[in-house]
Amino acid sequence: MNLKFYIIVLFTLTLNIVHGQTTYTITSNKNWSAVLPNTCANCTIVISSGVTLTIDGSFSCQNCTFQGGNISMTDQTLNIQYTGSSVVTTNFKQVNFNIYGNNGKVIVNAPLALTGSTFTFYNGSYFNTSYQVDLVSSNVNLYDNATMYSTGGSSTQINLSSTSKIAIGDGSRTSNAAFTVSGPTVDLYGLSSIVVSNNNNVYYNWANYYATPAHSTNANLSKSYSTSNSTMNCGGNGQHACSNPSLYGPATLSTSGVIPGGSLPVILSGFSVQNNNDGTAALSWETKMETNSSRFEIERSADGSGWNTIATVQAKGNASLPTDYSYTDGKMLTGTNYYRLKMVDLDGSAVYSEVKVLQGSVINHISFYPNPARDYVNVTLGGTRSGMVTVRLINQAGVVLQEKSVSGGAGTTVTFPLQQAASGWYVLYVSSQDGMHESSKLLINRM
C-alpha cells in the first residue's frame, strides 16, 4: 500500500478537482481542521448520510457547496464569503447544521441558499446575513437565546418557499430568541412562515413583509403585511411594553397575514386534484404535521377570484406523523374549476393552500350504439352539466360528413342517419365550448 492510498483510507476523504472546483467527500466523522483548509475556496463538500463534520476552529468557505450529512459547531465561527469578480451563492443541500455555545457564529457575506436543509442555533449563538437568503423546503431554528440579524438594502431579499420556516424561540418561556431585519425585503411563498414562539421572542422589522399564498414566485400575486405598530402580545399585564416595530409572540407571519399563535395549524406536504371524467373531481392532500388544527374547508371557484365553500373535512387535530385526507366533488362546474383548502385552527385562524385548476366538461364518457352501426348511430353524452356541444361524424380522409350542435347534459342523445355512408371506419368527434373534446371510432357495416 503506497503512502498516498494510506492517507486517503486514513482520513476517508476523496479529493477531486474538476473545472476549478475542489470536491471533498467525507465518509466518516471528521474535524474540519483534519480534512479541509482553513479557507476553503471553490469547494464542494459532500458529507455522507449519518456523518458529522465538526467545525473545530474559526474557518472560512468561499464559493462553497455543502451536500448532505451533518455539520456541528460549538463556540466557533464559520465565515461564508464569495471570491473573485462575480458574486457566487453558497449552497447547503440536504444538510443538518447545529450551532452551539454563546460564541457560535455563522457570518454570511455572500448570497446563501438552503435546500432541504435545517440550521439550528442553540444557546446564545448568532446568525448574520448581508446578502440574499433563499430557503427552499428548509428551516432556520433560533432556540434558547439565539439571534439572527439580516442587513442590506430593500433589493436584498429573504425568500422562504415550499413550506420553509424560521422559528424564533423553542417554545420555552425562558427563550429570548430574536430575529432582526434591517433593510432587506422578506418574501413568503406557499405555506412558508416565520413563527414567533413566545412573548419573550421577537421579530423586529420596520418594513412590511410580502406573501404569495400560491406555490409561486410570481411577485405580482403577493400582498404586503405590516408587523410594525403591533399591539399583539404586548402592553398587557405581565407582558412587554409595546415597542415599535417589535412583534412579540406567540404569533405567525404567514402567507395570509399575521395570525395569533406560535404555529400554523398544519404543515401541508401534498395537495392534488384529479378529474374523474364523470363529472366529479377527486381531491387528496397530506399533512406533515398538525397542531391544534380544527378542519379543512374545501373552496371552489369558477374564476379564481370569488370562492365558495363546498365541503368541510374534520382534521385530526394534533399529529407529528403524515396524515392523508380525501374528498370527492360530485358536481364539478362546467368549464374551469379552481380548488383550494382553507386550513382552520381551533382558535379560528387559518391559512390557504395553493390553488389547483381542473377543466370540467359536459362530454365526459360519451357512448354510442349500435356499434357496428348500419342505418343510424345514437351518440349519448355522459356529462352532468348543460352547455353547447358539437358532435361530428368524420370519415378516414378527415372530411366532416355530418355535424349537429345541441345543449348538452347527462343523457343528451344525438342521432345520425347512416344510409348514405359506405362500410368502413369513421370517427365520432365531440367538442364543447369549454375546450374539452373526445373522439371514438365507429364501424359502419353494411353486410
Determine the pLDDT at residue 262: 64
- The position carrying cell 366532416 is 400
> How far lies 178's CA from each of 153, 200, 374, in Å?
20, 9, 80
User: Could you tell me the residue range of the domain that residue 419 belongs to?
Assistant: 367-444
Residue 93 shares a structural domain with residue 32: yes
Contact 315, 290 (CB under 8 A): yes
Question: C-alpha cell of 424?
Answer: 368502413
Q: Dump pLDDT digits (tens) for 183-212.
A: 999 999 877 889 998 889 999 999 999 988
The pTM of the full predicted model, rounded to 2 decimals, is: 0.60
Residue 16 shares a structural domain with residue 161: yes
Determine the pLDDT at residue 32: 96
Residue 81 shares a structural domain with residue 152: yes
Determine the pLDDT at residue 6: 43
Nearest CA to 379 out of 427, 412, 426, 340 is that of 412
Q: Output the CA angle 131-133-137, nearest 5 degrees.
A: 170
Last residue of a domain, one of 230, 260, 290: 260
Residue 125 shares a structural domain with residue 20: yes
> How far lies 244's CA from each of 120, 149, 299, in Å?
27, 17, 37
Residue 327 shares a structural domain with residue 373: no
Residue 19 shares a structural domain with residue 164: yes
Last residue of a domain, one of 260, 280, 307: 260
CA 299 – CA 439 distance, rounded (Å): 32
Determine the pLDDT at residue 5: 41
Contact 102, 80 (CB under 8 A): no
Residue 100 shares a structural domain with residue 222: yes
304: CATH: 2.60.40.10
Residue 101 shares a structural domain with residue 225: yes
Q: Dump pLDDT digits (tens) for 277-316.
A: 677 889 999 887 777 788 999 999 887 777 899 999 999 8
Residue 65 shares a structural domain with residue 151: yes
82 contact partners, CB below 8 Å, separation of at least 6: 62, 63, 88, 89, 90, 109, 110, 111
Residue 371 shares a structural domain with residue 354: no
- Which segments in the chain show pLDDT lower than 50? 1, 3-19, 214-219, 384
Strand segments, DSSP code E, in 162-228 are 165-168, 178-182, 185-189, 193-196, 202-204, 209-212, 223-225
398: CATH: 2.60.40.2550
Residue 243 shares a structural domain with residue 338: no
Last residue of a domain, one of 260, 294, 309: 260
Residue 126 shares a structural domain with residue 11: yes
Tally of domains within the chain: 3
Determine the pLDDT at residue 326: 94
